[in-house]
Structure 1
Amino acid sequence: MISRLSDEALIDILSYLSLKEAVMTSVLSRRWRYLWRYTYRRWDFDVSNNTSLFLMSCNGNPRHVVRSKYVQWVSTVLQLHLGSHLDELRIRFDMDNVIRNSPGLVWWLVFACLKRVQRLEVDLSNRLGINTLREDKALFPSPAGLSLYRCCKLNLPPSPFPCPILDFSSLISLSLNYVNVYADTLAHLLSNCPLLRHLSVKSSDTMYSSNKNLPPFKSTSLESLEIVQSNFMQKEMEICAPNLVSFAFVGRNIAISFKNAVSSSLTELTVGMDYGVSFLLDPFKQHSIFLSQIEKLKMVFNDTARCFLGKTVPSKFPNMNNLKYLEVRWEASGSSSFLFPLTLVKAAPSLCTLKIEEPI
């Protein structure tokens, strides 16, 4: 019965399978051999739990050799895709310092542009918890850099016309973890991706602007913005996102200004580290315009903040009449002060859930 279906119908069915399952159907018959290469829903390269990639050696090969082969394999598989578009591309893999001397990430991003990927996740974090030097992390290039790479490295035929600028205009969601990225590159993406609703950057060490002044983070479609554990070197950041619902900033203390009636839509807030301490000690300074709207508040603190907040407790906090969920998470063990959570509780008459999390 299934053999009577058209190729288009079979491709639709295969697109609901995982990439591995879809590839396995290529042995069914000659007709099925290449159908998987047209699937369009999700290509997932998640080997974060593959222990062979974490071992110092595997089958006699050093770890960097095993990882380099994996990078090449991912690039090869992506080149086999024959469809006009791909909805989601997910790559999760601890590359260590392999990526620094490999064009892997750049080629993957070029592929994402050419295939009009809507949801892109690149997670290169170290699963063993070993610190990675900032120069060992991959760098997310600018759109102009991607276009130059495409023209110079991908064996394209010579053309008298300028190399076309690649863009991520189809992106709906972008998540980067352990990938260095310039802050002005993010600002450019937000301004030139009209469909982008979710942007997440974690553990980036180059969160500074290559220009003197950082352009505002401006987007009419952005609903969620997350910058966590990143070395954001700018002293201030301006956010112009009237439809922003969720905002997270965990890092050094900077001045963040919200424009264009962000307060009317923002209901979820996550703050932490030095910025979180500033939020507690001077809530009237940057956050009073939207605190009354917040329904869900999460706070993350390290050992330095723990010691500081144990001695200094804000006596008064702006009213948070809509706050229903409050979570405080300590990332280091030690003596805690529960006075500042109580201060927040007093300012939140509608609070339903209070969660305080300590490390084991």
Structure 2
Amino acid sequence: MDRMSDTMQKKHKKRKGDRGKYANLDDIPDDIIVGILSLLPLKEAVATSVLSSRWRYLWRFTRMSLDFDVDHVTPKYGTLTCLIHVTKYLNKNRKTYIRWVNEVVDQHSGAIESLRVCYYLRRRHKKHIDRWIRFGLRSNVLERLELDFSERYPFCNDMKRYLYKFFPNFFCVKYVGFKTMKVLSLRHVSIRGEEIEYLLSNATLLERLVLEECQNLSHLRVCGHSLALKHLEIVATGRNLRRVEICDLVNLVSFYFKGDFKNYARNFILRNLPLLVDFHIEFKLLFLLIIWLVQVPSYDHSYSDRNRHNWPAEVPNCPHYQLKEVEIFSYNYFLGDMERVLYLIKHAVALEKIIVNCKCNQRLKRFKTKQQLFEAEEISKSHAMTQLQPQIPSHIEFILR
């Protein structure tokens, strides 16, 4: 009995000792501290370096998501409205931003899960940008890479030829980041269609691709059964883009496209997208959306902007058996929108919900007063309620906004 009592006392002392093992910060192993610091944002993790000489360098070995956003260096940027003030402010703080990113890149030695660079940078900053990208791509756990070099204000638009040119030397053995990457976002970057194809062939795990205002992107082809791509977003409001081909993406569930170019019927190709359920498209020749419905047999959400120019006198009879929800933006009965809605109702035989949004187009807000916009929206709402809604079949949910 005494022997058992002694054993219990020893176990109790051992448990008591375990509870007090990390009574002080200095007793905590470095790997545990690094793991905790990895949960903090970059700014807070770096701030711990002043706690003691031991903590000074621990943040460098963290596994982090690095977000170098313009607002972290230039907090007043979003409050400026004058073009002259915006330009001066950006030029003044650009060196500060570049120095900040370079300091982190120089000092950090841990793994990188995501890298986001967001500032108004151009081709002349290529040596810095290339270095940052290489830094991220060396990480074998990189899942997200975002380059956003767009200007926040449309009136401070730089000439397109000065855009940073992405590629072409990032596909060597030491840059393993593409092998693990799941999200790639390129905004206001110069890249060609064949370079995107090559990129996709290397980034086999990529699930989301965002391309916005990419110069030199005249032909875009995203095709292949082997691609893991689930979400695709393309914004091309300029005139460079001439052809888009999205085919055989067996995992694609959402597709967003905004842009204008000639010969849509021939040069905008959607084919074999069996899992597509969310389809958002904005362009001028809206009537061609009807033709594409038969090419995308499974999606059940469609969102369309206005600009309904050149609606043909006779639209082809193209029934659709899967489309379940449609939202029409900037509804205006003067432009014949009621006829277009009724056409969709007739041919989308599985339609369950239709949303009519009467908010005026953003472009009109530049030329009309608030009172004029309000009156126009009220007229459209009144027409939709009195003329359109009575013609909607009872089995279709009608929502007016």
TM-score range, shorter chain: 0.7 to 0.9
**Which among 139, 142, 163 is matched to residue 115 of structure 1?**
139
Question: Could you tell me which residue of structure 1 aligns to residue 231 of structure 2?
Answer: 224
**Which among 204, 219, 225 is matched to residue 214 of structure 2?**
204
Contact 2:345 2:351 in 1 (8 A): no
CA distance in 2, matches of 1:329, 1:243: 28
Higher relative contact order (CA 8 A, sep 6+): 1
1:125 partner amino acid: S
Aligned pairs for 1:86-165 within 5 A: 86-95=112-121, 97=122, 99-116=123-140, 117-130=142-155, 131-142=157-168, 144=169, 146=170, 164=173
Matched, 1:179 2:179: no
Aligned residue-pair number: 321
CA RMSD in angstroms comes to 3.2
Question: Could you tell me which residue of structure 2 aligns to residue 300 of structure 1?
Answer: 305
- Secondary structure of 1:195's counterpart equals coil
Cα-to-partner distance string for 1:211-251 (whole Å, 9 max, x where unaligned): xxx76533421111111125553435253321111122222
CA distance in 2, matches of 1:334, 1:204: 35
User: 1:334, CA displacement in angstroms?
Assistant: 11
Question: Could you tell me which residue of structure 2 aligns to residue 188 of structure 1?
Answer: 198
TM-score between the two structures when normalised by the length of structure 1: 0.77
User: 1:307, CA displacement in angstroms?
Assistant: 4.3
CA distance in 2, matches of 1:202, 1:79: 30
Larger radius of gyration: 2
CA distance in 2, matches of 1:66, 1:333: 45
Cα-to-partner distance string for 1:116-151 (whole Å, 9 max, x where unaligned): 321111111111222332112212122x3x46xxxx
Matched, 1:35 2:40: no
Matched, 1:352 2:353: yes
Question: Could you tell me which residue of structure 2 aligns to residue 76 of structure 1?
Answer: 103
Summarize the Cα distance change of 1:320–1:33 in structure 2 as closer, same or farther, 3 Å threshold.
Answer: farther
Contact 2:324 2:352 in 1 (8 A): yes
Say which is worse superposed, 350-359 or 109-118, in terms of deviation: 350-359
1:80 partner amino acid: Q
Contact 1:46 1:93 in 2 (8 A): yes
Contact 2:200 2:206 in 1 (8 A): yes
CA distance in 1, matches of 2:267, 2:276: 18
Contact 2:139 2:175 in 1 (8 A): no
Contact 2:286 2:308 in 1 (8 A): no
Say which is worse superposed, 72-81 or 44-53, in terms of deviation: 44-53
1:338 partner amino acid: D
CA distance in 2, matches of 1:125, 1:333: 32
Question: Could you tell me which residue of structure 1 aligns to residue 31 of structure 2?
Answer: 8
Consecutive unaligned residues of structure 1, counting only runs of 5 or more, are 148-162
User: 1:42, CA displacement in angstroms?
Assistant: 1.1
Query: Percent same amino acid at aligned positions?
Result: 26
User: 1:108, CA displacement in angstroms?
Assistant: 1.8
1:226 partner amino acid: E
CA distance in 1, matches of 2:323, 2:332: 31
Summarize the Cα distance change of 1:103–1:349 in structure 2 as closer, same or farther, 3 Å threshold.
Answer: same
Contact 1:118 1:172 in 2 (8 A): yes
Contact 1:224 1:244 in 2 (8 A): yes
Consecutive unaligned residues of structure 2, counting only runs of 5 or more, are 1-22, 366-401
Cα-to-partner distance string for 1:59-100 (whole Å, 9 max, x where unaligned): xx87424213312321231222111x21111122223x4x43
Contact 1:316 1:343 in 2 (8 A): no
Say which is worse superposed, 34-43 or 339-348, in terms of deviation: 339-348
User: 1:17, CA displacement in angstroms?
Assistant: 1.4
CA distance in 2, matches of 1:56, 1:111: 34
CA distance in 1, matches of 2:93, 2:344: 50
- Secondary structure of 1:87's counterpart equals strand
- Secondary structure of 2:108's counterpart equals coil
Cα-to-partner distance string for 1:20-74 (whole Å, 9 max, x where unaligned): 111111111222211222222311111247335978569xx87424213312321
Matched, 1:318 2:316: no
CA distance in 2, matches of 1:203, 1:39: 34
CA distance in 2, matches of 1:316, 1:296: 20
Summarize the Cα distance change of 1:90–1:336 in structure 2 as closer, same or farther, 3 Å threshold.
Answer: farther
Summarize the Cα distance change of 1:335–1:171 in structure 2 as closer, same or farther, 3 Å threshold.
Answer: farther
Question: Could you tell me which residue of structure 1 aligns to residue 49 of structure 2?
Answer: 26
CA distance in 1, matches of 2:174, 2:218: 23
